[in-house]
Structure 1
Amino acid sequence: MTSPKLSNLITHFESNGNYMVDAKHPKYLNGKVIINKKGDGFTGVPEEVWNFYVGGYQVCQKWLKDRKGRTLTQEDIIHYQRIIVALQETIQLMKKIDEAIPGWPLE
């Protein structure tokens, strides 16, 4: 999480002053990860990033679920946005690798 690329945030956090992750959240709707009943959340989240799994976990959802009932700090918000960039970069690298390998498994 130290790459300079991660500072090029692709999302914004919109809030009505409530940074709490509510029960039954997060939810994904039309490019927005909603963290509470008031509709606070992260806009500009690509669907493929939201749906990306690592080790059986949906990363974007799990990170916020682990903070349910807590108020996100400004540091938490920036960290989550950096995770989204890291996942998007990972997805792009995976696509490039798939394109470079003509068929899998190799014969």
Structure 2
Amino acid sequence: MLECQSFESKDIALENIEKISKSLGLPLKVGKLSQGNLCFVNNREVRPEFRESVTEIEIIDYCYALYHSSKFWKKIGFQNDDLSQYPLPTNDSKFWKLVSFGAKLRQLHLKDSIAQEQIITQFPLKGNNKVLLSNVRYSPLKERNSNGLILGNLYINETQYFKNVPEKAWDFRWKKEKPAQRWLQDQADCVLTLEAILEYQNLIAILTQTATIIEEIKKVDATKLKKL
């Protein structure tokens, strides 16, 4: 959905990966190792000062976290999709925080679907299920839910709507587009099938979680990172 597969297939030069490894003062383990392949001392739960190496996938996760933050682009001067511009980390703690956030995003974006219990958006009313752009509107509720989310009803025609759509998902912007809004535009004058309704509920859940993770990424100070 948010180009994780495209991102991973792009060529992050091994030279740049090695530079990041050297900046951390840790030897590089080349190869995308799963958590189960790591010995305890290299487990992500271990404090940074006790790490003995860094893996290629961890550096990719670090870059993937930065790839999703406009704060970093503005401060560091990234060009869109320019994978040569990722900065060298100068703070171990900040690096591992970004690795953690990047891993969460990567794993989220590679999922085919979200667990049912994580989907809060509903489509409660029966009707013709036709998307009429002239009637599409988002109406936020005044109160937040127990998770602090502002929810709202998203109308697709005069009477039918998606219930419990988080405002952060509806307004989420990825590059030049808002995926939740673009999806409905692409469905203009179409009748939503059950499969399409489930697809949109899944999209809303992914966008909500993505926006939440990006909010955490923005809290990591970029001022002491430097370009490769």
Percent of aligned positions that are identical:
30
The match for 2:157 among 32, 36, 45 is: 36
Indicate how the Cα distance of structure 1 residues 23 and 89 shifts in structure 2: closer, same or farther if over 3 A, else same. closer
8 Å CA contact retained: 1:26, 1:61: no
5+ long unaligned stretches in structure 1:
none
Indicate how the Cα distance of structure 1 residues 23 and 103 shifts in structure 2: closer, same or farther if over 3 A, else same. closer
The superposition leaves residues 78-103 of structure 1 with CA deviations (integer Å, 9 ceiling, x where unpaired) of: 0000000100111111122222x224
> Runs ≥4 in structure 1, deviation > 4 angstroms?
none
Indicate how the Cα distance of structure 1 residues 4 and 62 shifts in structure 2: closer, same or farther if over 3 A, else same. closer
- TM-score, normalized by length of structure 2? 0.42
Greater CA deviation, 1-10 or 83-92?
A: 1-10
The structure in which a higher percent of residues are helix is: 2
2:105 paired residue number = none
Deviation at 1:104, TM superposition (A): 4.4
8 Å CA contact retained: 1:26, 1:65: no
1:102 partnered with 2:210: no
- TM-score, normalized by length of structure 1? 0.85
AA at the equivalent of 1:56: K
| Number of residue pairs aligned between Structure 1 and Structure 2 | 105
Greater CA deviation, 59-68 or 72-81?
A: 59-68
- What root-mean-square deviation, in Å, do the aligned CA atoms of Structure 1 and Structure 2 show? 2.1
The superposition leaves residues 47-88 of structure 1 with CA deviations (integer Å, 9 ceiling, x where unpaired) of: 111111112111111101111111000000000000001001
2:213 paired residue number = 93
> Aligned partners of 1:22, 1:106: CA distance in 2, in Å?
47
Deviation at 1:106, TM superposition (A): 3.5
5+ long unaligned stretches in structure 2:
1-108, 141-151
> Aligned partners of 1:13, 1:27: CA distance in 2, in Å?
15
SS state at 1:10 partner: coil
